[in-house]
Chain A
Amino acid sequence: MTALEILGATAFTATLYWVCSAVQRRLRLSLLHPLLSSVLAGGTLLALLPPAWLDGYVRGSKPLLWLLGPATAALALPFYRKRAFLAEHPGAAVLAALTGCASTVAVVWSLGSLLGLPPLLMRAASLKNVTLPVALGLAQVIHTQPGLTTVCVFTSGLVGSAIGPALLSRIGVRSPVARGLALGTLSHAIGTARALEEGPLPGAAGVVALTLSAMLIGAGAIALSLIFG
């Protein structure tokens, strides 16, 4: 890892995100999330260049990636600020997150086995509803790929926040608390941003749910890695 690689990778990443954010602001398409468009544009560009460029980018982005650790710790702040919600709705928050996580992981493994998906893909899909900084840490614990995990987490966030509100209305879930909890549990920060559009109460529920889901899936993943190695 040379200084040039670090400088190049950091400048490339920041410029790419800045350009994609500007395009999203101009076009105002919610599915064109700057993160998704940056990954698609950056991935396509590096795939077209000689492989040495991608290797250099991966090496040079290591210091930037290290910041993911302190940033994960910083997630304590939004949770701490919304602690009053947890004190008012402890049962709803914990049980919605617990049943939401358990049912989604159960469907991943049952449907995945039925369709013959390799365990590596099912492990990545099991982390899809965990906020990305925690999911990337857990990917190492359960031996799956960070890139695949990122794609699964994006998909759950973008698709869940797009179809979730209509889906919840259709089955009669009108409680603002429950709607925020469902969006935060399954679609983490992107779903929480969508819940916030419905009001401050669903937004607070989303923040609490995304943190609880990260802890619950994290506890499950760690327990399984201790049992199976």
Chain B
Amino acid sequence: MALLRTGLQLVVLGVLYAGCQWLVARTGIPVPPGLLALLVLIGLLLSRAVPETAVDRGGDLLLRYLPVIFLPPGIGVIRELHLVRGHGLGLAAVLLGSLVVGQLVAGLVGQAMANREKK
């Protein structure tokens, strides 16, 4: 029974995504269908149009195995390595610099706002 419920919930999530894919293809709006499906599901859950129990098992299963789905694009990077040639150090510096600055800014702003919200 639990397996059937999980399976049906996976179908529900698949249909939601396929619907968003269709909408994006039909209208030509430059929104990734996955992001659109995420926003739609947040809206449906918050408005209580869809209860959490309608998608929780299937959703949690997909999230648990999400890293496996990331592997094909990750491995595909070997086809793109020529694009980094000569820019490896520069890219590393940009990634590290922007990461540090972003974390400091988010942390300091978050702390200032959290202190204000506490008062």
Contact = CB atoms under 8 A, between A and B. Distances in A.
A17 B87 contact: no
Contact of B75 (A46, A168, A211): A46
Given A77-B52, A80-B42, A132-B70, A46 B78 contact: yes
A171 B103 CA distance: 11
A108 B98 contact: yes
B75 A133 contact: no
B63 A54 contact: no
Could you say which interface size class chain A belongs to?
Answer: 35 or more
Contacts of B59: 73-74, 76-77
A71 interface: yes
Interface in A87-119: 88-89, 91-93, 95-97, 99-101, 103-105, 107-108, 111-112, 115-118
Contacts of A141: 30-32
B91 A58 contact: no
B115 interface: yes
Interface residues of B, number: 74
Contact of B39 (A42, A81, A104, A215): A215
B83 A148 contact: yes
A226 B30 contact: yes
Contacts of A209: 106
B90 A115 contact: yes
A134 interface: yes
A215 B40 CA distance: 12
A178 B79 contact: no
A12 to B, nearest CB: 9
Contact of B77 (A43, A160, A185): A43
Interface in A215-229: 215, 218, 222, 225-226
8 contacts: A71-B69, A72-B37, A76-B42, A77-B52, A100-B106, A134-B32, A167-B104, A182-B104
Given A125-B95, A150-B77, 16 more contacts: A43-B77, A43-B78, A70-B10, A71-B34, A89-B117, A93-B110, A122-B94, A129-B99, A134-B35, A150-B73, A159-B96, A160-B99, A173-B111, A175-B115, A181-B110, A186-B102
